[in-house]
Amino acid sequence: MAAVPDQARFDYIVIGASSAGCVLANRLTQSGRHRVLLLEAGGHDHHIWIHIPLGYGKLFDNAKVNWLYKTEPEPELNNRQIIQPRGKVLGGSSSINGLLYVRGQHADYDHWRQLGNAGWGFADVLPYFRRAEDQERGADEFHGTGGPLAVSNVCEPHPLCEAFIEAAQQAGIPRNDDFNGATQEGAGYFQLTAKNGRRWSTAVGYLRQARRRHNLAIVSDALASRILFSGRRAVGVQYVAHGITRTAYADGEVLVSGGAFNSPQLLQLSGLGPAKILRDFGIDVVADMPGVGADLQDHLQIRMQYRCTEPITMNDVINHWRHRYAAGLRYIMSRKGLLTIGAGYAGAFFRTRPELATPDVQIHFLIFSADTAGAVLHAFPGFMVSVCQLRPDSRGFVRIKSNDPHVPPAIQPRYLSARSDCDTVIAAMKALRRIMDEPAMRRYIAQERAPGERCTGDADLLAFARETGTTVYHPTSTCRMGSDPAAVVDERLRVRGFERLRVIDASIMPTVVSGNTNAAAVMIGEKGADMILQDAAALAPLAMSA
Ligand SMILES: Cc1cc2nc3c(=O)[nH]c(=O)nc-3n(C[C@H](O)[C@H](O)[C@H](O)COP(=O)(O)OP(=O)(O)OC[C@H]3O[C@@H](n4cnc5c(N)ncnc54)[C@H](O)[C@@H]3O)c2cc1C
């Protein structure tokens, strides 16, 4: 990592080597014309389990690479505190996530544009998805090749996934071999951000290439604690590295890419946020912005567990040393097999009501079972299937609890606080049960372990969701893009009312996308980089003539 002297000057300072921040670090240094400082609170990404896809399960409680956040007690989830893992490492959450590559629906982005965000319709963002992508299946209208983000197929079919896909078809859900193609609806296999059986985080895809450039300085283990302003212009960043507080200055822009929890936290620590909360913690109010940290959205998943009739699940491999070693050996020899799978193997997108234009539910089909994420697998053959409502109406918040940047903020998604979300979750669980009851799947089910056959009525199903529901790790929208007074950034991702300050990460999504959020965060990084470079190019002649 670079030794950067105190008070050093750069053109751009990127805060957070996140899914989006690594894209910025790469694209902004590509021409060689701009000096960029990348600050990352976590360390390097050498941990072996980061790079083996299945190792994702080993990173849930690893404080070296994970912020290990928790929500406040969630009132509608029986006051449970829900885990909120977040990457704290080069690559951000793309280094610890479940690797599923799902962009969301075309309609998500068209909706962003309808909300007043010019330039964010699906036709506008598709070129950035394609530019980022190195699609194993080759290029077409929806996919690109040669980009920094490798996207690949699962290495081989699995009998349980085949049965699930067939059962979905028996239930009237079509087969879909590309959830990122013309339409999302259907059942099929997920694709992964992986290549040759290795994780393809943005640290691997974007930073490895860029870190050799003389104009990029990367400082890891460096927590940005405050953005510095001259009036309404961002001029630099104060950060803490190895216990020492330093300052870096930006002649161009300060770019906040700390993710959906840390970006609003840093803005609030810097005096941008709800005035009362800032004052309560002794922070000088630079701008009263109630929208900073508001509108938190996340996907809630409800996992149904099944005991399998045949010993063909991952439980049967991991729990027997001989099979486990064989799987390890196979991975070492060929980079294939169980160690290459991500957070879902197969999946489905469907509508709970026929009048809907697009799916409102996503299914993740997992070939193992455990009581909680990252926990020991059950000692019997088992698998799990989760339902996830794609467009929740519930809204929560992120708020500082201290003026100390090391103190985690209060995180409160307020899952299931909207009645419409409860209704969708109930309908989704019923629809999933119908799929599982189709002949193709039924032969593999010895027992529905949870919620269990006694759980039948709507009230029972909702009670199960409240008791067991947990995050799919997709928090967004806490620095929401828009043109209304509560929006934090405009459609060029500039913090409203400020100069030379942008937020570029998952926190700017006006609404959470109907899928997994990493691909969209990378796209936001790609589009954000383009906007910064366009603005710099537009300003350059003015600077010369001044
Ligand atoms: C366990 C898990 C599983 C997931 N599974 C999937 C999946 O399968 N598919 C999918 O598409 N998405 C998945 N996601 C979600 C997806 O990875 C995230 O939405 C995406 O990575 C968010 O990107 P981001 O750019 O907003 O920020 P992040 O990638 O979260 O990164 C923020 C970075 O900023 C750094 N940072 C924060 N504050 C500061 C500061 N003050 N100073 C310096 N550095 C700072 C952090 O340490 C971190 O490295 C998962 C996420 C998790 C946690």
The string of pLDDT tens digits covering residues 61-118 is: 999 999 999 999 999 999 999 999 999 999 999 999 999 999 999 999 999 999 999 9
Atom of ligand 1 at shortest distance to CA of 343?
8
Query: From the CB of 65, is ligand 1 less than 6 Å away?
Result: no
**E strands of 341-455, at which residues?**
346-350, 361-366, 382-389, 397-399, 410-412, 445-450
Measured between alpha carbons, how far is 359 from 102 in angstroms, rounded to an integer? Answer: 14
Atom index in ligand 1 nearest the CA of residue 16 equals: 34
Q: In the prediction, which pLDDT does 546 show?
A: 55
Residues 6 or more apart whose Cβ sits within 8 Å of residue 277:
268, 399, 400
Q: Please give the number of the atom of ligand 1 that sits closest to the Cα of 342.
A: 8
According to DSSP, residue 314 is labeled H
Residue whose structure tokens are 């200055």: 249
Distance from the alpha carbon of residue 453 to the mean position of ligand 1, in angstroms: 37
Three-class SS state of 250: strand
Residue 3 banded pLDDT, cuts 50, 70, 90? confident
**Residue 540's pLDDT band (cuts 50, 70, 90):** confident
Q: How far is the CA of 356 from the centre of ligand 1 (A)?
A: 31
Structure tokens at 121: 């319709």
What pLDDT, on a 0 to 100 scale, did the predictor assign at position 2? Answer: 63
- The reported pLDDT for the residue numbered 375 is 84
Amino acid 1: pLDDT: 59
Amino acid residing at 4 = V
Q: How far is the CA of 281 from the centre of ligand 1 (A)?
A: 27
CA angle 189, 510, 257 (to 5 degrees): 85
Name 384's Cβ contacts closer than 8 Å, sequence gap at least 6.
303, 304, 305, 306, 366, 368, 369, 370
Contact 380, 407 (CB under 8 A): no
Quick one: which atom of ligand 1 is closest to the CA of 222? Answer: 43
26 touches ligand 1 (CB under 6 Å): no
pLDDT (0 to 100) of residue 155: 82
Kindly give the distance from the C-alpha atom of residue 84 to the centroid of ligand 1, in angstroms, as a whole number.
11
**Ligand 1 mean position, distance from CA 94 (Å):** 6
| Helix, strand, coil percent content, the chain, rounded in steps of 5 | 30, 25, 45
| 103 CB-near residues (< 8 Å, 6+ apart) | 129, 180, 513, 515, 519, 520, 523
Between 383 and 546, residue with greater pLDDT:
383
Confidence of residue 545 (pLDDT cuts 50, 70, 90): low
Query: Is 180 touching ligand 1 by the criterion CB < 6 Å?
Result: no
Let me know the angle formed at the C-alpha of 169 by 164 and 171, rounded to the nearest 5 degrees: 95
pTM of the model: 0.98
Contacts of 276 (CB under 8 A, 6+ apart): none
C-alpha distances in angstroms, 199 versus 21, 182, 347, 358, 472?
Answer: 18, 26, 20, 30, 19
H/E stretch holding 531: helix 518-545
Mean confidence (pLDDT) of the chain = 97
pLDDT digits (tens, 9 = 90+) for 467-477: 999 999 999 99
For the CA of 405, the closest atom of ligand 1 is 41
What pLDDT shows up at residue 373?
78
Instruction: Kindly report the protein residue whose alpha carbon is nearest to atom 48 of ligand 1.
Output: 92
Q: What is the pLDDT of residue 431?
A: 98
Measured CA to CA, the distance from residue 320 to residue 333 in angstroms comes to 20
Residue nearest to atom 52 of ligand 1 (CA): 97
Cα 3 to Cα 283: distance, rounded to the nearest angstrom: 30
**Tens digits of residue pLDDT in 234-252:** 999 999 998 999 999 999 9
Residue type, 455: C
Q: Ligand 1: which residue has its CA nearest to atom 21?
A: 93
Note the pLDDT of residue 232. 97
d(CA 95, CA 98): 9
* Active-site annotation, residues: 474
The alpha carbon of 88 and the centre of ligand 1 are apart by a number of angstroms equal to: 8
In ligand 1, the atom with minimum distance to the C-alpha of 518 is 11
In angstroms, the CA 487 to CA 374 distance is 36
**Average pLDDT estimate for 491-508:** 98
**Which residues partner with 350 through β-bridges?**
361
CB atoms within 10 A of CB 455: 16
Gap from CA of 545 to ligand 1 centroid (Å): 41
Residue from 473, 488, 512, 523 whose mutation best tests the ligand 1 pocket (most atoms within 8 A of CB): 473
Q: Interior CA angle at 414 toward 412 and 415, to 5°?
A: 125
- Per cent of the chain over pLDDT 70 is 99
What pLDDT was estimated at residue 543? 65
More confidently predicted of 543 and 482: 482
Mutation to probe ligand 1, out of 69, 93, 207, 254 (largest number of atoms < 8 A from CB)? 93
Minimum CA distance residue for ligand 1 atom 18: 518
In short, whether 474's Cβ falls inside 6 Å of ligand 1 is yes
